[in-house]
Homo-oligomer: A and B are copies of this chain.
C-alpha cells in the first residue's frame, strides 16, 4: 500500500573453530580447556521499512525489524519477530522524533567496531557486554544496549554533525527503584574524518539513588586505502550492597585499522579492558587460597581488583564477491588477566567464577545483504 515500502535483510554466518583455555590456576572455579567447532550466526536480521511524504519537509517513518537466528538456535524465551530496531516516528526539518525499541546512541557509536555482531566484536569489551533487546532491569552492566521503551530525537545532519538523544522510560520497578536510561551523542562525519562522543546515564540500575554512567570517544581518519581509528570508553558503576553504596570505574580502549586491497579488506583491532578500580570488588579467597568471585559484586564482566582486565586482538580479511556479498575469515585472540572474567561476544560462556580464561578462534563465513 505504502508507495515506498522496502524489505531488507542482512544474513551472515560462519563456521568457527574455537579453543577455550583452562581457568587460571589461582581461580577457585576450574575449567578444563576444550575445542569446539560450530556454525554461528553473526547478527543476521530481516526487516521492512518505509516512509510517507507529509509535505512541508515532513515525513512519517517506520521500521519493523526482526532477528534471524540463521543457525536455527533462538535463545530461550527470546522473541525474534519485530524486537530488533523497530519504530514509528516523524521526520521534520528540525529533526526526527520516534518511539520504539532501538540501539542507544552509545551502542550506535560502538558499532563502528570492525566486527559488529560477530564473535570478535570489540563492543563486547568496550561496552562491557553487548545486550540485545533489554529493558532497564536487564543486563544492568552493559553500555552497548538495544533498548526497549525508547523515545528518541535525532537532529538533522548539520554539515556532517548529528546529535542524538534517547530516553528509556522507567517502567519496570525493582523492589527499591524504577530504573531509566538517557543516552546522547554528537557525531561528525566529513570526508576522511569521523569524530564522535557519546554519554549515557543509567539511573537507579544499581539500587535507589545510584547513577551509572559511561562516556565514549571515537575518532577515525582515512589515508587513501588505510583507515585508522580509536575508541576510549570510561564507565562508572554504583551498587547498593547492604547499607553501603560501592563504586567501580572501568576504562577500556581500542585501536583499529583497515586496509583496502582491491576487492579485499584487511582488518585489525586491539581492544583492552584495564583493571577495574573502586570499592566494588567481587574478588575474595577461600580456605585454600584460591580466588573466589561474589557474583553480586560484578558489574557485567567487570569488577575492581588487580589483574581483572582483558585484551583481545582481532584480525580479519573479507573479499567482496559483489557489493552485497562477501566471504570473510577472522582470527581472534582473547586473553583475560589472572582475575579477569571477560568473554568474547556470543562466545562459549565460562562457568560463573572461572577466571583468567583465554580464547582462540578461527572463522570462515559468508555475508549477504539484500
CB-contacts of A182-218 with B (<8 A)? none
The interface residues of chain B lying within 8 Å CB-to-CB of A170 are 36-37
Q: How far is the CA of A73 from the CA of B325 in the complex (A)?
A: 33
Knowing A6-B1, A13-B100, A79-B78, say if A73 contacts B368 (CB, 8 Å): no
What are the interface flags for A59-96 relative to B under an 8 Å C-beta threshold, 1 for contact and 0 otherwise?
Answer: 01010101111111110111111110011111000000
Interface residue? A307 (CB, 8 A): no
Closest B residue to A365 using CB positions:
B99
Question: Do B52 and A71 touch (CB < 8 A)?
Answer: no
Chain A interface bracket (under 10, 10 to 19, 20 to 34, 35 or more): 35 or more
Q: How far is the CA of A79 from the CA of B66 in the complex (A)?
A: 12
What are the interface flags for A29-69 relative to B under an 8 Å C-beta threshold, 1 for contact and 0 otherwise?
Answer: 00000001111000010101010101000101010101111
Q: A148-156, A242-250, A268-276, A298-306: which one contacts chain B? A: A148-156
Closest B residue to A322 using CB positions:
B54
Question: Do A13 and B99 touch (CB < 8 A)?
Answer: yes
Question: Do A39 and B321 touch (CB < 8 A)?
Answer: no
Question: Do B82 and A148 touch (CB < 8 A)?
Answer: no
Interface residue? A2 (CB, 8 A): yes
Question: Do A83 and B74 touch (CB < 8 A)?
Answer: yes
Interface residue? A7 (CB, 8 A): yes
Question: Do A370 and B82 touch (CB < 8 A)?
Answer: no
A307–chain B nearest beta-carbon distance, Å: 29
Knowing A13-B100, A78-B79, say if A70 contacts B52 (CB, 8 Å): no
Can you tell how many copies of this chain the complex includes?
A: 3
Question: Do B151 and A15 touch (CB < 8 A)?
Answer: yes
Cross-interface CB contact of A366 among B5, B72, B89, B370, cutoff 8 Å = B89
Q: How far is the CA of A149 from the CA of B50 in the complex (A)?
A: 33
Question: Do B68 and A86 touch (CB < 8 A)?
Answer: yes
Q: How far is the CA of A166 from the CA of B321 in the complex (A)?
A: 24
Q: How far is the CA of A227 from the CA of B15 in the complex (A)?
A: 42
A178–chain B nearest beta-carbon distance, Å: 8
Closest B residue to A348 using CB positions:
B171
A91–chain B nearest beta-carbon distance, Å: 11
Cross-interface CB contact of A70 among B74, B86, B368, cutoff 8 Å = B86
A86–chain B nearest beta-carbon distance, Å: 6
Interface residue? A343 (CB, 8 A): no
The interface residues of chain B lying within 8 Å CB-to-CB of A11 are 62, 64, 88
Q: How far is the CA of A58 from the CA of B321 in the complex (A)?
A: 9
The interface residues of chain B lying within 8 Å CB-to-CB of A82 are 46, 66-70, 80
Closest B residue to A68 using CB positions:
B82
CB-contacts of A4-24 with B (<8 A)? 5-9, 11-15
Question: Do B69 and A83 touch (CB < 8 A)?
Answer: yes
CB-contacts of A289-332 with B (<8 A)? 321-322, 324-325
A–B complex contacts, Cβ < 8 Å, 9 sampled: A9-B64, A39-B99, A39-B169, A46-B48, A60-B321, A66-B81, A68-B82, A71-B148, A99-B365
Top-6 shortest CB links A-B: A72-B101, A72-B148, A2-B370, A11-B88, A74-B79, A60-B325
